[in-house]
Structure 1
């Protein structure tokens, strides 16, 4: 067994760093040698980023000079993540200027930087350490490490050795020179930052697979060939608002005509205005031109260096937002370059490791013991049952087992030719572990061990961040799933279906919502809405708006009042977000509807004959913008067979498709769908949906009610014999409807409900009778919002309080619902079928 303990590793890093610095290829160009020297900080000092600053300007060495420490080169994670700027004036109190002035290094935590006077030096991240080492002939080496313990003694010794080896003479302005090795001819370019026009030679066009006739001179034409994952880093070099002076080097991929990716390396230097004939009196000089070379990265060296692999891994981990994304980035960076046969990455949860990525993913590639217990958890046993794994995690060391080593059954078949166990440290604890296995005997070279050490540190930090991201995403997703309806209600004379697709960007959550609200008297309320943003705040506001609209609708308000109340509520919440919505109240008996819009898309109708129309009507501003806004109502009519479609802008609008075109496409697909199969029609509408935004879709097909209820109403006057008049009206109606034997029970319920309305409330009282499907509904509406309370106990001497008990005893169901500022108390009586029939003449 060959293992590397932390103490042994730390004690040997400094000699290995010095040896690596001495053995740098002598035929490297000055620029390549400087960069390769700076890259050693990532391998031996366990830094995640490093930068070299050199003295520029007048009086840089003397007291009172106005020179500055300007960036000459940087490697690793982008320095801007840690607040490192392009230049630091020597007259400021920055750590770089102080170290340059007194010749003593500075070792600072993020909290030390936060206490400094210069607010521009405040970094955006918190858990990292900064090391600043002055160079003998001027300038500074700056290194960053993401670890609570900062740079330990051995790390500082390695940084000191690297600082001694660095040359501070900056490369000459202009395109970086290529080394004299056997390299392909460099392809040069010159990009004008103000116009985006780029001048290239034929070699650049050959690399991008373009002909001179097909190239239009625009940089966007070249960027279109870039692999989407590499485009952000490339754009940071060519967008005027993000560029800065100094040398730049970047590796990126383009897609060849065959579809295969190709690695290119771009080296360039930003030239300020005065270097290109501009006005040099305008401080500070704005970059006006990016000049440099492009070459095929696969042929610049016999093989890609370990440092380059670490840089690529760091770049991939910087954009990996999920635990699975981190695992896939690690697999891409390690398994193929090291020619490993399998790689497994797992998170540490308690005493178990939960597998995140298996590469290759096929079960047959892994031990038979794993296949017999194929689960999401680490197979067979907790970590303590696997000594090799347990020792590596307990001691925080990389363990390497060569071919023929004795391993426990759970690991023996993972790497019969060699096994590497990598603990993944993060923030003072272990985030997980990574296994690399080889089938054929594998010789572990020292540079591979250094590569594995550096990769483990980066992967551990990224895994911790991604785990927090996944936890937040799961929490918000659970919140959103809870707030959206689990199932839609069954509607008399209509059918409704809904679909929701979360965005695939960011947290994959948003503020789109829908709702179907059953209302009294065979009405239904339909709501579709969209809250600005795709984060936890948007999901929270979405839940508040859905709850508010449902509550106001159930109270019996018309659509304009419902939307106005929701608007005032959102304004009162003092949220920075706004929302759009459309609310429609449909009378399923009559096929009539009233609509109110708050900055939302109009509804789309599919008529029974197959024609479609977008219903444009006047609306109001989005919710939460203007406190006293009006939301006018507009009427709609439905014929049996009409399909109503409500959606959010994610379905009909994108960067490539404008809103009008998207609505036309939605109408065309709705017309082509089968209204009898509403679920399939909804799925068809979501085909090729834009996943950069979340999408909500609500469809309703109006069929008309096969049996319409019988209804009669009576306004109860406040006169001494009001209850008798109400009973007389009810008996006359029931006789006309053919209700005979059950009439006495109905009269008792009418008496009790009308009496309660007259005695306990002021204002008008209305009696409503409804008969449908052998159920008689008796409802009394009044102006008081107080719900009647059923007494828990009554003494024999009590003279009142038995009315609700009688209603409950005589009816199949009873309850109370809000109605126009008051309430409606109702009771339903089940009638025998033979007792119900039309009255005879």
Structure 2
């Protein structure tokens, strides 16, 4: 066997293959050679054939050297390489070994080459047996070769069906493989039936070819009833019926229903996994009588392979159901309706099915007609990731509902995740939208940028300055999250998603974002139809990552609602934050219909923010509110951490300093100061049409 070299590649999920002990009873050992890692698994009988002790074989082909002379190893390597190169499904070869006591022995091996969808060889599964007696008399060699060929055909039946079952991930996949007409013909049978044990009964789940006659009375029957499937489940032994007369005598209730199929013999096999029966399979023949020892051995081995595939599929489906149930329990049960917006959310689990991820979405109603949209992804694909996701989603919702600014919400969530003492981090995007004004404040923690779709179908990526992922920012003491402001006009759609919708192996993230923007732009305007289309695309593409998706489309507002409120945090020495605050004020003024007084409002807001930053040591929190109490007013509040009250001063010599409060007093309709816990807030109001 060629030395492919062990590597750090992960082994396949079902490696090594576990053949039925019937092979050992026939003095045949089995091996499973993973070509990616170079590792070979041999069962005890295979090691006995090669006269090796378990501790003498470490899974590497070169550890066979003490028993396989170099010329024989080279000849065997050439046979394997030739079969791989010419696309053969199997190979067979005789070779000599030297036993522990120095005596030579002939050995025969035959292997089945498993290839992936691209045709690349991935594994070789086969048998090895002692062939010394077989080749002792050269005059009988041709006869032995013919027998070997027949045995190879019989063994190929197990290998071909096992190869097809290796790709089955669900019980229905197993059934589909067996129900396929070609699969039945591979078994040499005219028809097939299969049943599964459920609560003390056997329920028939498959018949092939389609349209084969199965009596209604036998589709569900008790294990103690006089049917061949019931018998093999009770006894855990196969039942070979070698003639119609034997069938009629042994099962008089069932036989009259099968006479139209012209059955001449049958083989009923118990499907046993983990030492318990999970079902039974019946193979009905119309062209043979009796079964040889080799044929019985092959069928028993086949039943064992099918049983293992069924059990693997059952466990897979159980784990998948558990994963999906836990994931759905962690996500919001319902998404609240939002006045002024259409919202659609979707979640798709990974193609592997049973892996559970930490992707989540959330929609948080906030006071004053605002709404918080969240998308995030906790590192990892396991129950731990899902549990962390559930806790993080809840605390992030709580921080937002308490009225904290988007940057504070993200910073506190990061501290919470860090204090959980978990090794996980999370990426997240939080967008707080005032649907009355269309002003959206976004904060990004290592997550993908959002997309913005215009009513005309154009779609673009919105670049949002970001901070470190949640958990990491707290660990490294970098809790500053810049806030970016964008305008969501009526008819615009904001798209938030996790990387499972964008990233593909071998592709650049920017290319993926551009491709997604194109797909969104070409999609329908309705958010639910667009979300369905995106999830369909993700399902068709497959992939090993979950997908979470949130779409928010702003409807045309009827009128600015009382209590509309937006807020911006401005840190000292941060010109970018000051620019963003000015942009927020400008966007709100236009959205609230105060264009006539836009210049006055912007100038006053700028003066209040500048005064707070210049004359106090901490940050400023800027809040804009739309009020209505007989008349519509726009209120600006600038809060700082100083308790010192502002005072009017005469302008300095340069004619600039000292004019701030004079401007506020002249331009605003009313202004004042309020004490706020550890500081104060300077406020002013403007009457607007």
TM-score (norm 1): 0.51
Q: Distance in 1 between matches of 2:483 and 2:120?
A: 58
Q: Which residue of 2 aligns with 1:515?
A: 362
Q: Which residue of 2 aligns with 1:705?
A: 557
Change (3 A) 1:142 1:413: farther
Are positions 1:434 and 2:286 aligned together?
no
Q: Distance in 2 between matches of 1:40 and 1:664?
A: 50
Please list the CA deviations of residues 123-175 of structure 1 after superposition, one character each: whole Å capped at 9, or x if unmatched: xxxxxx9679767x96448999xxxxxxxxxxxxxxxxxxxxxx955462564
Secondary structure class of the residue paired with 1:489: coil
Q: Which residue of 1 aligns with 2:31?
A: 75
Shift of 1:712: 10
Q: Which residue of 1 aligns with 2:582?
A: none
Q: Which residue of 1 aligns with 2:468?
A: 621
Secondary structure class of the residue paired with 1:521: helix
Retained in 1: the 8 A contact 2:343–2:550? Answer: yes
Change (3 A) 1:550 1:382: farther
Shift of 1:306: 2.8
Q: Which residue of 1 aligns with 2:244?
A: 403
Q: Distance in 1 between matches of 2:56 and 2:222?
A: 39
Are positions 1:640 and 2:619 aligned together?
no
Q: Which residue of 1 aligns with 2:511?
A: 661
Q: Distance in 2 between matches of 1:769 and 1:684?
A: 38
Q: Counterparts of 1:30-69 in structure 2 under 5 Å?
A: 43-45=22-24, 50=29
Secondary structure class of the residue paired with 2:530: helix
Please list the CA deviations of residues 369-404 of structure 1 after superposition, one character each: whole Å capped at 9, or x if unmatched: 27xxxxxxx824333335322221111110123435
Instruction: Provide the alpha-carbon RMSD of the alignment.
Output: 4.6
Q: Counterparts of 1:245-256 in structure 2 under 5 Å?
A: 250-253=112-115
Of stretches 335-344 and 304-313 in structure 1, the one that deviates more from structure 2 is 304-313
Q: Which residue of 1 aligns with 2:171?
A: 323
Q: Which residue of 2 aligns with 1:691?
A: 542
Please list the CA deviations of residues 283-322 of structure 1 after superposition, one character each: whole Å capped at 9, or x if unmatched: xxxxxxxxxxxxxxxxx95784333443455555566444
Q: Distance in 2 between matches of 1:635 and 1:352?
A: 64
Are positions 1:576 and 2:426 aligned together?
no
Q: Distance in 2 between matches of 1:393 and 1:559?
A: 63
Q: Which residue of 1 aligns with 2:221?
A: 381
Shift of 1:501: 2.0
Are positions 1:600 and 2:447 aligned together?
yes
Q: Counterparts of 1:91-240 in structure 2 under 5 Å?
A: 139-140=52-53, 170=69, 172-173=71-72, 175-176=74-75, 207=86
Q: Distance in 1 between matches of 2:464 and 2:503?
A: 20
Q: Which residue of 2 aligns with 1:306?
A: 154
Q: Distance in 1 between matches of 2:356 and 2:191?
A: 34
Q: Distance in 2 between matches of 1:80 and 1:553?
A: 50
Q: Distance in 1 between matches of 2:433 and 2:288?
A: 74
Q: Which residue of 1 aligns with 2:596?
A: none
Q: Distance in 1 between matches of 2:27 and 2:358?
A: 37
TM-score (norm 2): 0.61
Q: Which residue of 2 aligns with 1:733?
A: none
Secondary structure class of the residue paired with 1:710: coil
Change (3 A) 1:709 1:343: same
Of stretches 679-688 and 394-403 in structure 1, the one that deviates more from structure 2 is 679-688
Q: Distance in 2 between matches of 1:564 and 1:49?
A: 65
Q: Distance in 1 between matches of 2:329 and 2:224?
A: 38
Please list the CA deviations of residues 713-751 of structure 1 after superposition, one character each: whole Å capped at 9, or x if unmatched: 9xxxxxxxxxxxxxxxxxxxxxxxxxxxxxxxxxxxxxx
Shift of 1:585: 1.0
Please list the CA deviations of residues 532-584 of structure 1 after superposition, one character each: whole Å capped at 9, or x if unmatched: 33333333333222222222222222222222222222222233332211111
Q: Counterparts of 1:484-523 in structure 2 under 5 Å?
A: 484-507=331-354, 509-523=356-370
Shift of 1:700: 1.0
Q: Which residue of 2 aligns with 1:13?
A: none
Q: Which residue of 2 aligns with 1:805?
A: none
Secondary structure class of the residue paired with 1:305: helix
Q: Which residue of 2 aligns with 1:23?
A: none
Match for residue 337 of structure 1 among 172, 175, 186: 186
Q: Distance in 2 between matches of 1:707 and 1:49?
A: 83
Retained in 1: the 8 A contact 2:323–2:355? Answer: no
Secondary structure class of the residue paired with 1:435: strand
Shift of 1:485: 3.0
Q: Counterparts of 1:557-572 in structure 2 under 5 Å?
A: 557-572=404-419
Q: Counterparts of 1:413-562 in structure 2 under 5 Å?
A: 413=257, 417=263, 418-439=265-286, 443-507=290-354, 509-562=356-409
Q: Which residue of 2 aligns with 1:182?
A: none
Q: Distance in 2 between matches of 1:597 and 1:76?
A: 49
Retained in 1: the 8 A contact 2:439–2:488? Answer: yes
Change (3 A) 1:517 1:463: same
Please list the CA deviations of residues 690-718 of structure 1 after superposition, one character each: whole Å capped at 9, or x if unmatched: 321222221111014214333599xxxxx
Shift of 1:421: 1.8
Retained in 1: the 8 A contact 2:31–2:125? Answer: no
Runs (5+) with no aligned partner, structure 1: 1-38, 51-73, 87-128, 145-166, 179-185, 190-199, 209-225, 231-246, 269-299, 371-377, 714-767, 773-819, 822-841
Q: Which residue of 2 aligns with 1:392?
A: 232
Q: Counterparts of 1:239-278 in structure 2 under 5 Å?
A: 250-253=112-115
Q: Distance in 2 between matches of 1:304 and 1:562?
A: 68
Shift of 1:267: 12
